[in-house]
Structure 1
Amino acid sequence: MMKIINKLLGVATVSLLAFGLGACSEDGNQYSPEQVINNAMKENEEPLSYYAEATMKMTAEADNIQLKEWRSKDGKVKVETEGATAEEQNITVNDGETITMYQASTKQAFVSDDGEMLATMAPSPKEQAQQLLKMIGDSHTISIDENEKIAGRDAYHLVAKANDKDTLFGDQELWVDKENWFVLKSISQSGDNKVEIEYTKIEFNKEFPDETFVIELPDGTDIQDLDAMSSTSEVTIEEAAQSVGKPILYFPEDKNLKIGKIEMDDIKGELNRVEINIEYVREEIPLMSLSLFKSPENTEEDMKMPGEENVEIRGIEGTVIEMEGFRNLFWVENGVNYSILLNNPDVSFEEVIEWANDMELVE
């Protein structure tokens, strides 16, 4: 599901695109990095509305991506991205009730009216700012470089240097509007990937007619209901194995390890697979979650993440990653992908790898 969504949105909504960092500064006042962050975390008196144009450069793409963005005070959003040709165009519209994502190259549109999906796909500037600051607050050293003008507006230049080379988010640079704490330019490094976004035009306090957030899909567009592409239901471990279509491994319950619930996600569309998620608890406290699905026949080589290390799990080569509170084990065995997310900080990788030796097979 997320592969489909990310492809449609490009990195326009995953990057640092539409931050509005919510506070007001006084003219001529110079802030320390700590003060900038504190101001960024304050509540907005009212949401920002704006029309903006930006250029996005990525190391993985040969051509730049051009972006246009409309955002109203009542939460409606429209984002257009275009590559080197008109066919490389994506349009995402959130009209407050429905989100529609259209990709010109495939003539496909994905539609959802799920409230949780709406919030995920169009987070507010405040929410985006909080996410970034939480992610780099403890792992980076932040300083202020010389002030600059971006899109004709005065901006503070924040430089965030990663304290550890293996951090999930590498060095970051942000150029923050002095008036309203909007990020006018950002450079984000993650592993070998670098994303640079710079606003070339921005007009604040804009009012838009309702038709701005209406998307007219071309004739012949293949419209897919995102809400119908994945259904979740609780199942037994036997039903899980039958649904996957192959024998599966799981951790049996004992006095210290209980199954909270077993859920099955039946995902349609491009992924077209069944995923099983088993939540484990200890004394009613979340411990870890085991996710598994039948290995796809044609797999693309995944990009190695910073901090990822090879380990042996059940006599098979797997990987572990521990990054800023995120701890995960992964391996493939007999045509099934297994992923364990450790939710309890008191549980170590070594313990879980040892437990894995006693996993039981369900056919």
Structure 2
Amino acid sequence: MNKYENKAQPVLPGIIGNNPTIHKLASQIQKIAKSDRPVFLKGATGTGKELFANAIHQLSQRLGQFVAVNCSAIPENLFESLLFGHEKGAFTGADRRHHGFFAQANNGTLFLDEVAELPLIHQPKLLRVLETRRFSRIGSNEEIEFTGRIVSATHVDMSQLVEDKLFREDLFYRLNLFELDIPSLEERRDDIPLLVNYFAKKERNITFSPCALEFFKYASWPGNIRQLKNTIDKLSVLAENDYLSAHCIQELAVCEPDETIISKLAREIIAMPLSNKLKAIHDALVEEAVSITEGNKTQAARLLGVHRKVIERKLQQIRLKIIPNHFPQTDRKQG
């Protein structure tokens, strides 16, 4: 059992993490969840915005449904029908009454994902519902009260869209009374091993060596948590064994190292008070690789991407340096 397996405690319904940013976000959500005010989620693609929206819904203890709508997938000519519903005979093909998303989310939560994709022509209609809390089906004069809550999300810069007149400023301010930033995986790298174990147990119950978890931690994840989960799903199918080392992951080529992390580490090393930084880090890498592989020089060489002889030569140099230091001063003089 590795050190991350017992730490997957949810900070919110359906969400785990130990990162301080996640804990701060969870604390904010717990405070605002029971309000009926709109919430606006900002975050890159794949950060789990819908999961956070669902968590808000669950904590709100609302009796209605959680209805998720991808605004970018709504055909412009069907916008009103899908959101507000229509009566039978309201237009050609309307052979029965249809309850739109607003009606479905009454007493619940309507999640408008990718809200920035809403056509400008339809934005006043959404604004009116937010202002009056009432809507009508197409073909009906009856006004229906909207008793649900709006949670919206996007991965783009809404302030820029407003400035470019591509999104109504008044609608934007109606949507983001509570604005929450969903962190990228880059901002919560310390949660990656925890998430890897969590996703792995949902699949084939595969497990990873400590070095493999560190490999994931410093890999590149432009697709954020969604990409990480997809990678673990892929490994559960491709892996020949249930226990995976860092070498196995490298061979399967499911992810790549993050060059920005390497640059950051290089800057930190350069700032260290070491006389010969290259030698110190070279020695430390070899010793750590040998330690991780419990003395297996072949596996240590694979981890570092070098030949076994490089490991043997470096270990010999390190030992020659260390061994004399253990001799008494008098013995060294006599030798």
* Higher percent of residues as strand: 1
Higher RCO by CA contacts (8 Å cutoff, separation 6 or greater): 2
What TM-score does the superposition give when structure 1 sets the normalisation length? Answer: 0.19
Q: Which has the higher helix share?
A: 2
TM-score, normalised by the number of residues in structure 2: 0.20
Rg (Cα) greater in structure: 2
